[in-house]
Amino acid sequence: MINKKLLFKKRPYGLPDENTWELTEEKLPDLLEGEILIEHEYISLDPAMRGWMNEARSYIKPIEIGEVMRAGSVGKVIQKSGKTKFKIGDHVSGWGGVQTHCISNGENLIKVDPLKSNLSTYLGVLGMPGMTAYFGILEEAKIKEGDVVLVSGAAGAVGSLVGQIAKIKGCTVVGIAGGEKKCNYIKDNLGFDNSIDYKKGNVIKEIKKKCPNGIDVYFDNVGGEILDAALIFLRRNARVILCGAISQYNNKESIKGPKNYLSLLVNRASIKGMIVFDYVHKYEKAISEISGWIEEGKITVNEDIYEGIDNFRSIFLKLFNGDKMGKLILKIKPK
Ligand SMILES: NC(=O)c1ccc[n+]([C@@H]2O[C@H](COP(=O)([O-])OP(=O)(O)OC[C@H]3O[C@@H](n4cnc5c(N)ncnc54)[C@H](OP(=O)(O)O)[C@@H]3O)[C@@H](O)[C@H]2O)c1
């Protein structure tokens, strides 16, 4: 059996280019005792993948040159050897990488049920971005009814769920997104109270207009100037959650830090970083609660699915050029 895989070839400087990866094929080896062969159906495309390509100390080790590009995946067990905890036909999610097949000893794999939810959704609201939004807004930001929540990257995988959960909990939610289409979408389809188009107009003036009494929580997915603008409007005891800084990931110069940090002091506010992997032991609870919300119609799932491992690079770049809505996913298994 042939495996098509994307190897990481060269650390990018700025945006990844045609030299960053190489697509190759290999004949899959025979399975060893206890191993399973997974046929990938979907691969998750996440902004964090850009950070994993840098050779820098982080919350997870960098991808090594020559390795298969790291990515979240969901697929079906099609072979097994000897005693394993998975059977042929089981569906699993894990970190199988950008390839059509993956051999695994079963470690760090979660069994998922395609009858309960679309398989792709285990990479979105029921996967890593969903867990990030859930624990970020509930356990890190500790929202309470009546809070004013401002969230950036609001039409993205994490931001769109952050806003919807905050609405369920009785907050007033304002989302920052790029372009009229995304701004209308988060208001009309996701129930946000208001939106700010950061590509049009002045973000500081817009936050002042849309959050006239200030903000209790700023959930930051983008960093840079938008973080700086949000700091100006913190209310007393506000919480700023640093989830990501996508505006800075492809920077060729040094990262832009916030100038307006004294607002934290004046307002007795806090700023805190979060990493979703610290909550792995609680994922089951979050998956069950989010699934319930989906069934009740309180959460809208929004996935942008493209097809074909050969198109990986152009689809990956959609994370950074705004040309996608909701969770970006690559369908690997041909029809
Ligand atoms: N801490 C953790 O454990 C953890 C876990 C998962 C994700 N994250 C981080 O959370 C953030 C959101 O992730 P995601 O999965 O939701 O990604 P996503 O679906 O790609 O959404 C990110 C959004 O950011 C916006 N964006 C892109 N470049 C921007 C820029 N220069 N300035 C302002 N906005 C920009 C894009 O929409 P527009 O068209 O609106 O620009 C995009 O929809 C990322 O920073 C990611 O690294 C952190």
Residues 3-32: tens digit of each pLDDT: 999 999 999 999 999 999 999 999 999 999
**Do 188 and 84 fall within a single domain?**
no
293 domain-assigned: no
Range of the domain at 259: 128-277
Q: What is the mean pLDDT of residues 98-110?
A: 96
**Do 118 and 139 fall within a single domain?**
no
294 domain-assigned: no
**Do 10 and 112 fall within a single domain?**
yes
Residue nearest to atom 9 of ligand 1 (CA): 244
90 domain-assigned: yes
Q: What is the mean pLDDT of residues 153-157?
A: 98
* DSSP per position, 293-331: HHHTT-S---EEEEE-GGGHHHHHTHHHHS---BEEEEE
**Do 100 and 186 fall within a single domain?**
no
**Do 9 and 70 fall within a single domain?**
yes
With a Cβ cut-off of 6 Å, ligand 1 is lined by 46-48, 128-129, 132, 153, 155-159, 177-178, 182, 198, 221-222, 226, 243-247, 274-276, 319-320, 322, 327-328
**Do 186 and 223 fall within a single domain?**
yes
23, 309 Cβ separation under 8 angstroms: yes
pTM over 0.95? The answer is yes
Q: Is pLDDT above 70 for 102?
A: yes
Q: How far is the CA of 53 from the centre of ligand 1 (A)?
A: 17
**Do 257 and 225 fall within a single domain?**
yes
* Pair of tokens at residue 87: 């059977």
**Do 132 and 258 fall within a single domain?**
yes
Q: Which residue among 135, 197, 241, 246 has the greatest number of ligand 1 atoms within 8 angstroms of its CB, and so is best to mutate?
A: 246
Please give the angle made by the CA atoms of 226, 227 and 231, to the nearest 5 degrees.
Answer: 115
**Do 176 and 224 fall within a single domain?**
yes
Q: What percent of the chain has pLDDT over 90?
A: 95
Q: Is pLDDT above 90 for 333?
A: no
**Do 51 and 188 fall within a single domain?**
no
286 domain-assigned: no
**Do 115 and 176 fall within a single domain?**
no
Higher-pLDDT residue of 60, 182? 182
- Rounded Cα–Cα distance for residues 208 and 53 (Å): 37
Q: Tell me, what's the pLDDT at 202?
A: 97
- Rounded Cα–Cα distance for residues 96 and 67 (Å): 12
284 domain-assigned: no
183 domain-assigned: yes
**Do 83 and 114 fall within a single domain?**
yes
Q: Is pLDDT above 70 for 108?
A: yes
CATH number at residue 237: 3.40.50.720
Q: Which residue among 50, 151, 221, 228 has the greatest number of ligand 1 atoms within 8 angstroms of its CB, and so is best to mutate?
A: 221
322 domain-assigned: yes
- Give the chain's mean pLDDT: 96
Q: How far is the CA of 11 from the centre of ligand 1 (A)?
A: 21
Number of domains in the chain: 2
Q: Is pLDDT above 90 for 294?
A: yes
Give the dihedral sign, CA 173/177/182/184: positive
The torsion defined by the Cα of 122, 126, 128 and 130, in degrees rounded to 10, comes to 150
41 domain-assigned: yes
Q: What is the mean pLDDT of residues 212-230?
A: 98
Q: Tell me, what's the pLDDT at 228?
A: 97
pLDDT tens per residue, range 114-146: 999 999 999 999 999 999 999 999 999 999 999
Q: What is the mean pLDDT of residues 227-255?
A: 96
Q: Tell me, what's the pLDDT at 254?
A: 86
**Confidence at 335, pLDDT banded by 50, 70, 90:** low
CATH number at residue 63: 3.90.180.10
Q: What percent of the chain has pLDDT over 70?
A: 99
